[in-house]
Amino acid sequence: MTEEVGKTIPLKRLVPGLIIGPAAWLGPYIVAASLFLPTLIQKIDAGNKIELVALFSTCGMIVAAISNMVAGYFSDRTYSKYGQRTPWLLGGAFAFMLTMILASFANTIPYLLIVWMISQVALNFIVAPMVAWIDMAPEDGKATASSAYGGLGMALGNNGFSIFGAMLLGQFRLGFIIFGIITFVGTLIAVLIVKEPSNLNDKAAISKKEKTAKEKTTLKDLKNVFPSWKIGRDYYLALAGKLLQGIGNFAITGYLLYIMTDFMGKNTSGAQGYIQIVNTIMLVFGISKGFLAGPLSDKYKLLKYPIALSTLCLAAGALSIFFFRNDASIWIYGLMAGLGMGIWNSLDNLLNLEVIPDKERVAFFLGVYNLGNTVTQAFAPVIAAFVISVFGFSAIFIVSFAFALLGGICIMSIKSVKR
């Protein structure tokens, strides 16, 4: 197994790669999952759109969870001239591009579902290896690397691409193709900038006997795959916090198109405009916090508190729409959610590095942790669909508030990170 300690990539190469890379995979995925996929489902079977979005989300969640762990496992055990992560990044990005192109031709739900599931596998072979780049930053630059990945790269992915994606709602089939190509080209650019070093010497340094013993133990003993609560307590709390916060966030953003049309009464043109406004506000806050959160965290030695605070911002944003239900509430939501997600995305990966239970399996544990970026977006609409069908659209804002609040409680319960 590769030992990453002592292997570093200069920040002048790593930071641009950690901005472009996550933006390139997360942006197209967000746009496809929250805008193009619901629009295509509505076109194919409008009468069952809510239930079908939930079905796609459920299946996607299962496939994403499995493929992410598999991707992390194999990435940690890869030896190549181009490093551990690069071969999987490029392969996953190319496969994701192909699935987006295939999705653009879908005219039946079964065909679309199969293609979408394959895309989830491909996507997670980008997610798990790429986030492990953060651990290759110099020791005194890990907060900067985390901010680059989460605060800047993911801010661009979460919100920046949605502004452009909303413009293509009327040409959503073309949108699938364009954003699929963006994923591959963006990932390729990130890989070329980072220039991950070869790790072939690591393979030569580890005897075949030792390597085999380690892998057999990992595969046969579940305790070594997922440590006990006593060992991995803080990691599990951080993971639970991310999952809960993510559900709170995506319960709204995953149905933002339908919220604008079915709840707020906007027509397609009006919904497009407000989606762009919300995402523009969140993008500005996300980028600003990406520049500030990491350096301020290093300076004042604060990590747990600001992350917990970010969940309160998300909770407050959700309540604003529930109570006011007007155009102003959309602006308030954009401001509060933008502030919360900006802080969260900047620092949560650094928090996970602090509580990771096994530094020899960085890609695996970071990959599982970052399932929060895909699994929650898949799982949140399932919860939202149930709540909408039983209580109506307004209830999803209470659900968002509750999950975000529970996420903050989990973060504050972490003991190894004091503040």
Q: How many of the other CB atoms lie within 10 Å of CB of 220?
A: 9
The pLDDT score that the predictor gives to residue 44 is 96
pLDDT for 138 equals: 87
Averaged over successive runs of 10 residues, the pLDDT of the chain (419 residues) comes to 58 94 94 92 91 87 86 86 93 98 96 96 92 85 82 80 85 95 97 91 57 48 72 93 91 82 82 81 77 75 90 93 87 89 84 84 77 72 84 90 96 91
Structure tokens that stand for 213 in this block: 């013993």
pLDDT of residue 224: 63
Amino acid 395 reads A
pLDDT at site 206: 54
CA angle, residues 105, 109, 113, in degrees to nearest 5: 85
pLDDT of residue 223: 53
Give all domains of the chain, ordered by start, each with its CATH number. Answer: 11-212+228-412 (1.20.1250.20)
Q: What is the pLDDT of residue 204?
A: 58
The dihedral region occupied by 363, where left means phi > 0, alpha psi between -120 and 50, and beta the remainder, is alpha
| DSSP labels, 287-329 | HHHHHHHHHHHHHHT--HHHHHHHHHHHHHHHHHHHHH-SHHH
Torsion angle in degrees (nearest 10) through CA of 381, 386, 387, 391: 150
Is residue 87 classed as helix, strand or coil in its secondary structure?
helix
Q: What is the pLDDT of residue 88?
A: 96
pTM (two decimals): 0.73
Q: Shortest CA distance to 125 belongs to which of 169, 179, 165, 88? A: 88
